[in-house]
């Protein structure tokens, strides 16, 4: 396989991650990019995700009890909502945690960052 093909595959995979409403698992990336790239193998997706992470273009999102999901690194500070019915993860446009970086908590803990995932039903699954 030549470099051109790898670049096209990587570019298509990054495009699918970028256009998603929230972070995607490897299986979701494979499914979405597979429609655009004939015969896309799961190993190719793993290699592309590894290269995109090493290049700083995407980051891993850790969801408790699940494999890592991936989103573009340029999304800034945000949190996630995980639907328990359809198992999709969505970006939230708001930060419901009013604790800025540098805040000193009781016990001498200094806040450097935070990550929050809310769980429930998305709009489609409530209906």
Binding-site residues for Zn(2+) sit at 83, 86, 122, 125
The H-assigned helical ranges of 20-103 are: 26-34, 42-54
The alpha carbon dihedral of 17, 20, 23, 26 has a sign of: negative
Q: Residue 117 corresponds to which tokens in the numbers above?
A: 């995932």
- Going by the annotation, the residues of the binding site for Fe cation are 77, 114
Q: Residue 50 corresponds to which tokens in the numbers above?
A: 């590894």
- Going by the annotation, the residues of the binding site are 77, 83, 86, 114, 122, 125
The alpha carbon dihedral of 39, 41, 46, 48 has a sign of: negative
Classify residue 105 as exposed, middle or buried by CB count within 10 Å of its CB (0-12, 13-18, 19+): exposed
């Amino acid at each position: 396989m030549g470099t051109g093909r790898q670049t096209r595959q990587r570019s298509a995979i990054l495009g699918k991650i970028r256009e998603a409403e929230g972070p995607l698992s490897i299986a979701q990336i494979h499914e979405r990019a597979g429609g655009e790239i004939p015969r896309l193998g799961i190993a190719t997706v793993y290699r592309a995700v590894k290269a995109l992470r090493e290049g700083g273009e995407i980051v891993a999102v850790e969801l408790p009890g699940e494999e890592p999901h991936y989103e573009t690194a340029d999304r800034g500070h945000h949190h996630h909502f995980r639907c328990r019915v359809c198992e999709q993860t969505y970006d939230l446009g708001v930060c419901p945690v009013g604790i800025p970086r540098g805040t000193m908590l009781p016990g001498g803990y200094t806040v450097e960052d935070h990550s929050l995932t809310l769980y429930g039903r998305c709009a489609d699954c409530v209906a």
